Amino acid sequence: MLEKLGRNLPCWCGSGRKYKVCHMEFDERIAEHKRMGDVVPTHKMIKNPAQIAKIKESAKVNVAVLDAVAAAICEDMPTSEIDRIVSETTKAYGAVPAPLHYQGYPYSVCTSVNSQVCHGFPSDKVILKSGDIVNVDCSTILDGYYSDSSRMFMIGDVSDAARKLVEVTKECMELGLEQVKPWGYLGDMGQAVNDHAKENGFSVVRDIGGHGVGIEFHEDPFVSYVTKRGTDMLLVPGMMFTIEPMVNMGSALYDVDPHNGWEISTRDGKLSAQWEIQVLVTEDGHEVISW
Ligand code: MF3
Ligand code: CO
């Protein structure tokens, strides 16, 4: 990853400062980790302050859209209504819903109900009823910059078991977040998520995970929750990614809907929950960008 940059040339980060007074020491520290055998980030994964400011503007819309969903979601509502709220609220802020037409995805939001793991299609035939748990996953483009987060909603009277799954999944995300710090490892986060799910008798979906985000919808690195402490990618200031574990009540196995190629459900038909936040690695820890 280290381009051999002249010490007096402008830094690769776009600051306009000379490399030697900007990111040279930073690059040397990363190179040392690489020599020790660590997986290290590329410059492309590191956002500069101007980019971070733009992504935060996008995230303000993302959070406002989820807040609008939270205020309206209720029993007897078809999930197509959530799609309408997301589409209209996003547009009202001058933004664009990122899912719409993304790799052919046909809606503005994902609404994954009960045994659906992710990528659930909003539908006028899916009517929320008391006892349902539903993930609403919103992704936003503002002025070309991306934000992405999701929340769970519990409709009416939810069983104790379903409530526990929703709460533990949120705790998994929060415990993972606590581990995010510069010069730590993505695996510190992954193990914290996985340990907490397992301790509660749940399983974590393996091949679907989080991702870098901001300049594009889905960037490197892939963010797994089955990694071990001290392994996986080195974290450095300026990296931005999502923490979005999918936690299942039963087995971690899932199937993709053979008809539409998108909707993903647990193989055993048991419940699945997911929370997603977007996080920035800072000089002294982390900052939540979208939630
Ligand atoms: N919002 C999802 C994520 O958290 C991605 C969904 S892809 C889509 O990464 F096309 F379904 F929107
Ligand atoms: Co995401």
CA of 8 to the centre of ligand 2 (A): 38
Give the global pTM.
0.97
Q: Which of helix, strand or coil describes residue 153?
A: strand
- For residue 4, the model assigns a pLDDT of 66
> Angle at CA 40, nearest 5°, toward 34 and 45?
150
Please state, in angstroms and rounded to a whole number, the distance separating the CA atoms of residues 78 and 257.
20
Q: What is the DSSP string of 34-97?
A: HHTT-----GGGB--HHHHHHHHHHHHHHHHHHHHHHHH--TT-BHHHHHHHHHHHHHHTT-EE
Instruction: Answer whether 126's CB lies under 8 Å from 78's CB.
Output: yes
Supply the residue whose CA is at minimum distance from atom 2 of ligand 1: 137
Element (H, E) at 223: strand 219-223
Distance CA 239, CA 220 (A): 10
Q: 210 pLDDT band (50/70/90 cuts)?
A: very high
Do 57 and 1 share a structural domain?
A: no
Per-residue model confidence (pLDDT) at position 151: 99
pLDDT at 2 over 60: no
Q: What is the pLDDT of residue 3?
A: 54
Q: From the CA of 284, how far away is ligand 2's center (Å)?
A: 24
**Within 13 Å of residue 177, how many CA atoms lie on the same side as its CB?**
21
Residues 50 and 134 in one domain: yes
What per-residue confidence (pLDDT) applies to 243?
98
From the CA of 256, how far away is ligand 2's center (Å)? 18
Residue 162 confidence (pLDDT): 98
Q: Give distance in angstroms: CA of 231 to centre of ligand 1.
A: 26
Residues 222 and 86 in one domain: yes
- Closest approach atom of ligand 1 to CA 262: 11
Q: How far apart are CA 11 and CA 14, in angstroms?
A: 6
What are the pLDDT digits (tens) for 22-49? 999 999 999 999 999 999 999 999 999 9
Q: Verify that 150 and 98 share a domain, yes or no.
A: yes
Instruction: For residue 217, give the ligand 1 atom closest to its CA.
Output: 9
Ligand 1 atom nearest residue 110's Cα: 11
Contacts of 44 (CB under 8 A, 6+ apart): 219, 220
Same domain as 231, residue 168: yes
132 CA distance to ligand 2 middle (Å): 22
Mean pLDDT value of segment 182-188: 98
Nearest CA to ligand 1 atom 7: 99
- Domain tally, the chain: 2
* Same domain, yes or no: 151 and 272: yes
123-162 tens-digit pLDDT: 999 999 999 999 999 999 999 999 999 999 999 999 999 9
| The predicted structure's pLDDT at residue 223 | 98
Q: Do 21 and 152 reside in the same domain of the chain?
A: no
Domain extent at residue 27: 1-37
Q: Indicate if 145 and 60 belong to the same structural domain.
A: yes
Ligand 1 pocket list (CB less than 6 A): 99, 102-103, 105, 110, 119, 137, 139, 148, 242, 244, 276
**Who surrounds ion ligand 2 at CB < 5 A?**
148, 242
Based on the domain organization, do 97 and 25 belong to the same domain?
no
Whether residue 267 is predicted with pLDDT greater than 70 in this model: the reply is: yes
Rounded to 5°, the CA angle 267-252-153 comes to 85
* CA–CA separation, 239 and 212 (whole Å): 8
Both 159 and 285 in a single domain? yes
166 & 243 share domain: yes
Q: How far, in whole angstroms, is CA 248 from its chain's centroid?
A: 17
Q: What is the CATH number of the domain that holds 75?
A: 3.90.230.10
Read off the pLDDT band of 51 (50, 70, 90): very high
Domain check: are 128 and 171 in the same one?
yes
pLDDT category of residue 101 using cuts at 50, 70 and 90: very high
CB 150 within 8 A of CB 136: yes
| 55 touches 216 (CB < 8 A) | no
Q: How high does pLDDT run on average in the chain?
A: 97
How far, in Å, CA of 69 to CA of 83, rounded? 9
pLDDT given at position 160: 98
* pLDDT tens-digit readout, 59-71: 999 999 999 999 9
What pLDDT sits at residue 254?
Answer: 98
